[in-house]
Amino acid sequence: MQTLRHIDLAPWHTLRASAQAAQLTLIDDADELKACPPDAFILGGGSNVIFVGEVTRPLWHLNVQGREVVAEDNAHIYYRVAAGETWAKLVEDCAGQGWYGLENLALIPGTVGAAPVQNIGAYGVEVAQVIDSVQVYDRFDNTTKDIRGSDCAFAYRQSHFKGLWQNRYIITAVTFKLAKSGKLVLDYPDLAAQAAALHTPADVCHAVTTVRQRKLPDPAELPNAGSFFHNPLVDANQAVALAKQHPDMPQYPSSDGMVKISAGWCIEQCGFKGQYDGAVGMYEGHALVLVNCGGSGQDILNYAAKVRQAVGARFGLTLHIEPIIVGEHS
């Protein structure tokens, strides 16, 4: 265990905004969580967080590593992976083994432990579909336990880990149930267009990686946090009304009879794609990705407020910021 004091958090999140942390504790053994203060914020790869101003809350970074096949039958592999493992590397390796389930989630930044929190998803697959169980450290009684995936209330970019259980559980490992054979999910236009050439999980992993590299900025070169806003969900009546007013607006059926609206399309219609206020703007190649070229956390939030205001005024839709905001802000 190592504690760093009074440090700049810019290198610790992919938006790279400067912010001051009182302390950041690094651990590589989940047993060390016993010393974790109740109000600590658990930091993974920093790809879904915005640090702003002074961060007085203690920060803990879990760098626990390790993978193990814990069970296997004719159809499935049960693969337990420690929270600190890199998500993109895991996907690449599983696809390379010929295991089905993770391939559409290639090249998503961040760690394995962060994946269940917001039920990461891309190209028609959500991680919840392949989570067998989540191992957690319980801050209330200082024990480690396994929670079934079916008990985590997974929904569109949602779970109990960012709601009801937010201050209770720290994810230490995830067990994935991956199939030895199966059907590839190729419904999204970017994959459907090349479906005839996609036969294995490795093919899909490679195709998704190529598309993402083409469309999305590399955080190492242009600081960003991937999708900056959630796609708004509306009910069927509101969807019909919106379609009447905006016949080109992309709409997709979502769970519970709700309809998903493309936030990126709305932002682009409002003129923000490739438009910057100083150091902060929406990426020219993808209107859903906010990029930061040296702005502060507050600059990012100010810009996001402008985007939200414009989309609200034009479409009557409320955009919610996807990354978690940590620190003092207005």
Nearest residue to the partner ligand NAP, using Cβ: 226
| Least Cβ distance, residue 25 to ligand NAP (angstroms) | 27
Which CB atom, from 9 or from 267, has the smaller least distance to ligand NAP? 267
d(CA 273, CA 215): 13
d(CA 250, CA 267): 12
Known catalytic residues are: 157, 227, 322
Does 41 bind ligand NAP (CB under 6 A)? Our answer is no
Residue whose tokens read 């203060």: 37
Does 320 bind ligand NAP (CB under 6 A)? Our answer is no
Does 78 bind ligand NAP (CB under 6 A)? Our answer is no
| Least Cβ distance, residue 126 to ligand NAP (angstroms) | 9
Between the CA of residue 154 and those of 82, 144, 188, 250, what are the distances in Å?
20, 21, 21, 24
Residues 204-243 that bind ligand NAP (CB under 6 A): 215-216, 226-227, 231
Which CB atom, from 111 or from 231, has the smaller least distance to ligand NAP? 231
Does 189 bind ligand NAP (CB under 6 A)? Our answer is yes
Among 81, 90, 108, 301, interactor with ligand NAP by CB under 6 A: 108
Which CB atom, from 108 or from 170, has the smaller least distance to ligand NAP? 108
Q: Which one of the spans 1-9, 69-77, 257-265, 273-281 is the region binding ligand NAP (CB under 6 A)?
A: 257-265
Among 37, 66, 182, 250, interactor with ligand NAP by CB under 6 A: 250
Whether 21 and 9 have beta carbons less than 8 Å apart is answered as yes
Does 187 bind ligand NAP (CB under 6 A)? Our answer is yes
Whether 122 and 224 have beta carbons less than 8 Å apart is answered as no
Which CB atom, from 44 or from 121, has the smaller least distance to ligand NAP? 121
Q: Which one of the spans 3-11, 176-184, 238-246, 260-268 is the region binding ligand NAP (CB under 6 A)?
A: 260-268
Which CB atom, from 7 or from 258, has the smaller least distance to ligand NAP? 258
| Least Cβ distance, residue 133 to ligand NAP (angstroms) | 23
| Least Cβ distance, residue 243 to ligand NAP (angstroms) | 15
Q: Which one of the spans 30-38, 116-124, 197-205, 304-312 is the region binding ligand NAP (CB under 6 A)?
A: 116-124
Amino acid making up residue 50: I
Residues engaged in binding ligand NAP (CB under 6 A): 108, 121-124, 187-189, 215-216, 226-227, 231, 250, 252, 260, 262, 264, 288
